[in-house]
């Protein structure tokens, strides 16, 4: 019996890379094996090129017609998440960032969409990583 599963488009939470410390890169690469939608700040373009990964969207605060750029009014995390929810309508968001517990709680309280914050190589929700 095969251990492979078919993953339907939109089944996995969207991944948003806001901040990516070195020790979190491996976790990100493992999650990308499930082929979720990937949105990243442009700060990590070189990392993705080195890993031969093409994000679905890069976040920019510039007006653009480029399909691979997600235009936002500003680059604040809350604004980016709001824009992602409005334009992409994800099932959930796996957020790579570095926030303290107070910042995280405040951020999550602003949105109805489930947001899973990923910290320092582990996920707060048990069983999320395989």
Give tens-digit pLDDT for 81-95: 999 999 999 999 999
**Does residue 6 belong to any structural domain of this protein?**
no
What the block records as the tokens of 82 is 């709001």
pTM (two decimals): 0.83
- CA distances (Å), origin 5, targets 15, 33, 53, 95: 20, 12, 22, 24
**Does residue 13 belong to any structural domain of this protein?**
no
**Does residue 14 belong to any structural domain of this protein?**
no
Tally the domains of the chain: 1
**Does residue 130 belong to any structural domain of this protein?**
no
How many residues are listed for the chain in this entry?
130
In this predicted structure, what is the pLDDT of residue 123?
55
**Does residue 75 belong to any structural domain of this protein?**
yes
Q: In what order do the strands lie in the sheet with 57-60?
A: 69-71, 57-60, 38-41, 14-17, 92-96, 114-119, 122-123
**Does residue 110 belong to any structural domain of this protein?**
yes
Give tens-digit pLDDT for 19-33: 998 889 999 999 999
Angle at 99 between CA 96 and CA 51, to 5 degrees: 25
């Amino acid at each position: 019996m095969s251990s492979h599963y078919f993953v339907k488009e939109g089944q996995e939470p969207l991944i948003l890379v806001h901040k990516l410390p070195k020790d979190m890169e491996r976790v990100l690469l493992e999650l990308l094996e499930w082929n979720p939608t990937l949105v990243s700040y442009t700060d990590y373009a070189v990392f993705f090129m080195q890993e031969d990964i093409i994000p679905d969207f890069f976040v920019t605060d510039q007006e653009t017609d480029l399909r691979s750029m997600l235009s936002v009014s500003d680059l604040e995390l809350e604004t980016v998440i709001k824009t992602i929810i409005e334009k992409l309508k994800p099932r959930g968001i796996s957020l790579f960032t570095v926030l303290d517990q107070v910042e995280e709680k405040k951020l999550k309280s602003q949105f109805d969409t489930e947001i899973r914050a990923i910290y320092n190589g582990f996920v707060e929700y048990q069983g999320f990583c395989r």
